[in-house]
Structure 1
């Protein structure tokens, strides 16, 4: 495993800044005045630390046309959020609290207003940046004002795909990464990394690591051969969408066998890298809305925080926010909401889930070997699951009951102490009693 040592202790609090700060949905065509909104995040850093997070994973903060994933200037903070000074202060305040900072880099595609693409539109096929994109020029002689066809990102024509065979593109991405690492960032989430050839990432990351060996790189992968992609690209990690899906789906379908199969797959990934694990992010329906029975939400969080991985908590999920992603323009808005000015303004209804996160994160902090732990299913039925998670000489037993009825589940003799959860240990019977939708994390007494 190539990941920096500090990643072993990271639990990310992921924030989508444009939504969090209530920025306008679109930047507009005219030059925009700088609005200093990034500093709103500073009021929430202590909240993140108290949650138990040790890292701040930022969504896009660079100049863009709309949602941040249509970047127009990779060297400029989006004026809807602020400027370099605001960024520097946020990083300084985060680091002062022991929070690492992860940036979101969109290097598969850019917005149409990206200057190198605008240069192509202005100068035609002979533009020095024409090779940066995969273009289809008409057979007739180019006429100023005419536009070539071009590859885009998954049918979104306002997102212009970069040509990753072009050395100038590799040099550009390398320089952008170094620039912001030099300003204090600790790593990069690479958006749509699955759409970029792994052969592109390998030399780029080698060059960046030559100056910033402690930087962390995690790629967005939704499907595919995760382990192979990590090996070929030299990324430190990828997003574990398989486990995300299995967690909520197994709860909704009362089918712990699906989760068990995913945990077995997860063990295989951990042989070569530590996945980024999550039960919510900026691209999916929130867990509290996805689950058909919200009483089962604690079970999902228990899985997230007791299996191997680098966990990420999406802002608002720690308060059981609801939000449904829809496949339409603006369909992400419900899962990328504005936060109030300060934690004191949050509704009281969400705080029990916040405290649940604290309990489970505290457990994980006391057992740092969980970062690379493997799981073994000890007992399973559709509605009941007992698994052991083990690593570096430590072991915990996790018992889950997704039914509404009380259940008594057998556990190993060593699992005689309740470390977290709501169960009652029965040492004389090597069992734990769980109420409906109950969960327990058990360990050795003493």
Structure 2
């Protein structure tokens, strides 16, 4: 699976392109802005773009009106097709946000139900009771997603609904040549639907990637040979920033060992979960860290721990953004152009090193040295052994271990290091030692 060796770049198009928050009905080809970023993304080392919702909706993209049309605020289908062609020409794959759990109230089939009630041919596409009423006074009750009644839950146990969604996916593959889907709220999706989706997509495109949004629970339930290839690793997302803020690298070391360590009870060995420092739903990493000196270290960990690293647009140069109690607008800004800096250069170096070393993509995980401010762990494949060393403290630290022996190349600097049971870690540093 190509995704296991890739670095993803997540874009929330409505914000990224500066589209109005509410659909104004005016077709404006804002999505073509991506064309101006393709050279930058290629130079950064990006392998795949994850686009959050791009299809016609009323507001934020997750209240879909039409799965077959690009949101008019972003342009026409032909505009997006050209963007996808350009990305592919730059060696960048395309993954779209598949919002299959719910639709907006103005989705065409739900509009038919609102108009014809019991006589609608689409009443069984949703979870409806004509013995009640909705908060919109529709004359019937319906299930909304987690109490959000502007998001109407689809009945994925209805074969007609599944057939319709699969026909839309087939259209996206035919029209845009997409390479995968990110399944919104995958933890809420019907498992039988995901199983059929996996088989359907594999027949159309054998290397088609399916990545689920999962916030909690046992990832094995949906990441397996029958359902999805990967899912979001929220456990390690939390550990990434809080380990630095709490001066307790034991937390992320525990999570990584629990998930990928050598013991038989470790739960996700061999799986490639999607790892991230931030995304369109959470406060940006530059805003949540207490110490700005830890920002490069977070990315040093992100690109050396097991998983599929995903960058959120702008965070690679340290863009800030704080999630508000009632909206996510600050997390989803419009940047006129890329604003690369020294952090961006460092991230690009990390991407390049990870891409060149099998141990960082596929290797096993094992903790070697753990202190509150320091962590050394091993990534090991059949072809190589790499030790990742992090010092989150403001003083130089000498780590001691019987495993720190021999000559190593530090992959980020290219320097040769001779170890004799110990290694010196500069303050606020991350190093990759190829043994």
**Do Structure 1 and Structure 2 share a fold, with TM-score over 0.5?**
yes
- C-alpha distance 321-146 of structure 1, shift in aligned 2 (>3 A): closer
Query: 1:428, CA displacement in angstroms?
Result: 5.2
Aligned residue for 2:366?
376
Aligned residue for 1:319?
317
2:15 aligned with 1:15: no
Query: 1:92, CA displacement in angstroms?
Result: 0.5
- C-alpha distance 124-236 of structure 1, shift in aligned 2 (>3 A): same
1:18 and 1:359 map into 2 onto residues whose CA distance is 29
Aligned residue for 2:66?
73
2:388 and 2:349 map into 1 onto residues whose CA distance is 14
Instruction: Identify which of 157, 160, 166 aligns with 1:165.
Output: 157
Aligned residue for 1:219?
212
Query: 1:258, CA displacement in angstroms?
Result: 0.8
Aligned residue for 1:433?
424
Moved over 6 A (4+): none
Q: Deviations over 1:138-193 (max 9, x none)?
A: 279xxxx8431111112211011111211111111211111101121111001111
Q: 2:4 touches 2:308 (CA, 8 Å); kept in 1?
A: yes
Query: 1:260, CA displacement in angstroms?
Result: 1.1
2:343 and 2:62 map into 1 onto residues whose CA distance is 30
Q: 1:397 touches 1:415 (CA, 8 Å); kept in 2?
A: no
1:257 and 1:428 map into 2 onto residues whose CA distance is 24
Query: 1:127, CA displacement in angstroms?
Result: 1.0
Q: 1:243 touches 1:266 (CA, 8 Å); kept in 2?
A: no
Query: 1:361, CA displacement in angstroms?
Result: 0.9
- C-alpha distance 352-133 of structure 1, shift in aligned 2 (>3 A): same
Query: 1:372, CA displacement in angstroms?
Result: 2.2
Q: 1:426 touches 1:433 (CA, 8 Å); kept in 2?
A: no
Aligned residue for 2:411?
419
Aligned length: 424
Segments of 5+ residues of structure 1 without an aligned counterpart are none
2:405 and 2:238 map into 1 onto residues whose CA distance is 32
2:352 and 2:132 map into 1 onto residues whose CA distance is 64
Aligned residue for 1:176?
168
Query: 1:376, CA displacement in angstroms?
Result: 0.7
Query: 1:396, CA displacement in angstroms?
Result: 0.7
Query: 1:431, CA displacement in angstroms?
Result: 2.9
2:160 and 2:84 map into 1 onto residues whose CA distance is 29
**TM-score calculated relative to the size of structure 2:** 0.93
Query: 1:256, CA displacement in angstroms?
Result: 1.2
Q: Deviations over 1:56-83 (max 9, x none)?
A: 1111110001011111100000000001
- C-alpha distance 167-272 of structure 1, shift in aligned 2 (>3 A): farther
Query: 1:286, CA displacement in angstroms?
Result: 0.5
Matches within 5 A, 1:229-240: 229-231=222-224, 234-240=227-233
Query: 1:402, CA displacement in angstroms?
Result: 1.1
- C-alpha distance 311-269 of structure 1, shift in aligned 2 (>3 A): farther
Q: Deviations over 1:227-277 (max 9, x none)?
A: 122238611111111111111111111111111111113314543531111
Aligned residue for 2:332?
336
**TM-score calculated relative to the size of structure 1:** 0.91
> Aligned with 2:390: secondary structure?
strand
Instruction: Identify which of 325, 343, 352 aligns with 2:342.
Output: 352
Q: 1:202 touches 1:232 (CA, 8 Å); kept in 2?
A: no
Aligned residue for 1:396?
386
> Aligned with 1:306: secondary structure?
coil
Q: 2:132 touches 2:140 (CA, 8 Å); kept in 1?
A: no
Q: 1:24 touches 1:80 (CA, 8 Å); kept in 2?
A: yes
Q: Deviations over 1:337-372 (max 9, x none)?
A: 0011x33xx3xxx50110010111111111034222
Aligned residue for 1:276?
274
2:121 and 2:191 map into 1 onto residues whose CA distance is 25
Segments of 5+ residues of structure 2 without an aligned counterpart are 261-265
Instruction: Identify which of 380, 384, 387 aligns with 2:377.
Output: 387
> Aligned with 1:13: secondary structure?
strand
2:238 aligned with 1:245: yes
Greater displacement, 261-270 / 51-60: 261-270
2:72 and 2:194 map into 1 onto residues whose CA distance is 29
- C-alpha distance 290-421 of structure 1, shift in aligned 2 (>3 A): farther
Matches within 5 A, 1:84-95: 84-95=77-88
Q: Deviations over 1:375-428 (max 9, x none)?
A: 111011111111111123211111111111111123621462221269x87625
> Aligned with 1:273: secondary structure?
coil
